[in-house]
Structure 1
Amino acid sequence: MVLGIAQDAGYPQTLCYRPHCMPAWQDKSLRKMATSLAVVDHIHKAQYLFEATPDLPQQLYLLQQEWSNPDYQLQGVFLTHAHMGHYTGLMHFGRESASTKQLPVYAMPQMRSFLENNGPWSQLVKLNNIELKELQNKREVVLGNVRVTPVLVPHRDEFSETVGYLIKGKTKTALFIPDIDKWEKWDTAIEELIPQVDYALLDATFYSADELKGRTMAEVPHPLVVESMNRFRELPPEQKRKVIFIHLNHTNPLLDSSSPESLAVTDAGFRVASEGLVLPL
């Protein structure tokens, strides 16, 4: 289940009062939460969260609304990297809030070290609110009917490495890569990986190169949506349908499903993620 589709800072973004942000300040129904997924194993009544965003309380409530059975328990959190929208929600598991007991948090070695050695995250470890589980690149983790494999991707790794995930259910597989610098920097050909999965939730931070007024795009490299669509143009229709664009910056016109850019994406055979979207595994 998709719990959020926006870039780390959500939509609208702090201190953004420009025309593209104002509608969401004025109408709460237009707001979008930071990118996050939940995976639900119905056989074992287990829930797994992918990313701990600043919007974590609302996202867990969204999940609870979909599956309100009290027997369903959050059994783990998988982190991709140490940028604000992907791990800072861990604070809500601390003693000032939920005060969880040894909640498994899955992280790569550098990400684990970052959490262990920097406050306030280190307090979560010290007080046993969370229990860090170290991941290894391309090493599968088996959790009931869910199999999760982290895959390293190139990104701005100031504090930790960055991974995407292959998430396998009983019958289908999802690829989740919310952040990557550029597809061509990766040692895996993304257009060859898409046919191997059933869903590909991919980095769509920026639609085009003219979104960041007054800033250089080189500071925050991502595959532009127009670049990705061009790269995937030779894929057959059934493969294009697997591509679901996610992690949208507050400037991204895909946040408006009626925008010309959104229509261009769907006309080309691709999809844009939406909060509450359920993808059977």
Structure 2
Amino acid sequence: MVWARVLGSAAGGGSPQWNCGCPVCTAVRAGSGIPRTQSSVAVSTDRDRWFLINASPDVRGQIEAFPGLHPRAGRTTPIEAVLLTDAELDHTLGLLLLREARALRLYATPAVHRTLCDGSGLLRTLERYCAVEWRAVVPGADLALAGGLSCRAFEVPTTKRDRFATGEESGRVVGYRLTDERSGGTLVYLPGVQALTPAVCAELRGCHTLLIDGTCWHDDELVRLGLAGKTSREMGHLPIDGPDGSLARLPALGVRRTIFVHMNNTNPVLLADSPERRVVSDRGIEVAMDGLEVEV
């Protein structure tokens, strides 16, 4: 069995975002919504050894909120490694908060690793504090983790501008399909996807549980609110609504349980009483909150 704990369910900045007074952030501050931290998940097959997928800037609070990640004795931690889906700051800044580790095992594609070393320089800083053991992730190749847990990364095409460009396109963004080799249970974690291409759909089809990008409701959500000049797709995220949005596309994939993660602070699905949340619920899709635990 694969256990997954949603450590953080919001997009970068969390919900509410510190500098945002949009209707959703205002409602959350007023107590009409649940605060959420930035996107990350922990997975395990034995509830003893855990793998973090992404390390958000909120990682310390997320660890403290989940006893399963607390140290057992001295500096012994149940966190085996961190897997990265990309090199975005909201998915990697938490690595610096793990610098007290004696050593940190990190799974990332060569493109992500090179960006963190030569682009943002984040790994060069981390290596001044602790040993970093990088293990290359190759999209399409099965990778054994621990306790019968294996994963396969898959390429997620994106046209989003790379802020720390190193000249590489392949492997900039990946999703992970995790499998319990004993039970056959499968879980896909995909917090960022710009388009449900045939290749991406093939990786999602038939999985038991899908944790998928729910960043924006409308493609022009931030433009409508006067908060940004880019659409959701231009920022690398498929919107939920619309004729080619995720809500219209996902039912055909035969996934048993679908859960939106990585919601932007502007997304009305964050509010339990919103019409948008009712639409999602009526389609049989869930909206994650911090602390949600999933068994596959």
Structure-2-length-normalised TM-score: 0.82
Matched, 1:151 2:162: no
Deviation, structure 1 residue 80: 0.7
Matched, 1:11 2:15: yes
More divergent stretch after superposition (5-14 vs 218-227):
218-227
Asked if 1 retains the 8 angstrom alpha-carbon contact of 2:64 and 2:70, the reply is no
Deviation, structure 1 residue 251: 0.7
Question: Equivalents in 1 of 2:174, 2:115: separation in Å?
Answer: 15
Matched, 1:88 2:88: no
More divergent stretch after superposition (77-86 vs 25-34):
25-34
Number of residue pairs aligned between Structure 1 and Structure 2: 269
Question: Equivalents in 2 of 1:104, 1:67: separation in Å?
Answer: 16
Asked if 1 retains the 8 angstrom alpha-carbon contact of 2:33 and 2:271, the reply is no
Deviation, structure 1 residue 194: 3.7
Q: Structure 2: which 5+ runs fail to align? A: 166-171
Equivalent residue, structure 1, for 2:286: 271
- 1:188 is paired with a residue of what secondary structure? helix
- 1:229 is paired with a residue of what secondary structure? helix
- 2:295 is paired with a residue of what secondary structure? coil
Matched, 1:230 2:248: yes
Amino acid at match of 1:86: H
Matched, 1:182 2:195: yes
More divergent stretch after superposition (84-93 vs 34-43):
34-43
Matched, 1:60 2:74: no
- Residue of structure 1 aligned with 2:46, choices 38, 42, 51: 42
- 1:232 is paired with a residue of what secondary structure? helix
Taking a change above 3 Å as real, the CA distance of residues 28 and 49 of structure 1, as seen in their structure-2 partners, is farther
Amino acid at match of 1:9: G
- Residue of structure 2 aligned with 1:79, choices 59, 79, 84: 84
Question: Equivalents in 1 of 2:71, 2:127: separation in Å?
Answer: 29
Deviation, structure 1 residue 68: 5.5
- 1:279 is paired with a residue of what secondary structure? strand
Question: Equivalents in 2 of 1:194, 1:110: separation in Å?
Answer: 23
Deviation, structure 1 residue 255: 0.8
Question: Equivalents in 1 of 2:106, 2:161: separation in Å?
Answer: 19
Equivalent residue, structure 1, for 2:169: none
Taking a change above 3 Å as real, the CA distance of residues 27 and 268 of structure 1, as seen in their structure-2 partners, is closer
Question: Equivalents in 2 of 1:168, 1:157: separation in Å?
Answer: 32
Asked if 1 retains the 8 angstrom alpha-carbon contact of 2:24 and 2:270, the reply is no
- 1:30 is paired with a residue of what secondary structure? coil
Matched, 1:163 2:177: no
**Residues 201-228 of structure 1, C-alpha deviation per residue, up to 9 Å, x if partnerless?**
1111111234212323153242111211
Matched, 1:51 2:54: yes
Deviation, structure 1 residue 189: 5.1
More divergent stretch after superposition (221-230 vs 19-28):
19-28
Q: Structure 1: which 5+ runs fail to align? A: none
**Residues 199-258 of structure 1, C-alpha deviation per residue, up to 9 Å, x if partnerless?**
1111111112342123231532421112112123456xxx35422111101110111122
Asked if 2 retains the 8 angstrom alpha-carbon contact of 1:23 and 1:30, the reply is no
Asked if 1 retains the 8 angstrom alpha-carbon contact of 2:115 and 2:121, the reply is no
- 2:212 is paired with a residue of what secondary structure? strand
Asked if 2 retains the 8 angstrom alpha-carbon contact of 1:241 and 1:270, the reply is no
Deviation, structure 1 residue 8: 1.6
Taking a change above 3 Å as real, the CA distance of residues 271 and 240 of structure 1, as seen in their structure-2 partners, is farther
Asked if 1 retains the 8 angstrom alpha-carbon contact of 2:33 and 2:272, the reply is no
Question: Equivalents in 1 of 2:189, 2:60: separation in Å?
Answer: 22
Equivalent residue, structure 1, for 2:168: none
- Residue of structure 2 aligned with 1:211, choices 203, 213, 221: 221
Equivalent residue, structure 2, for 1:31: 35
Q: Cα RMSD (Å) of the superposition?
A: 2.4
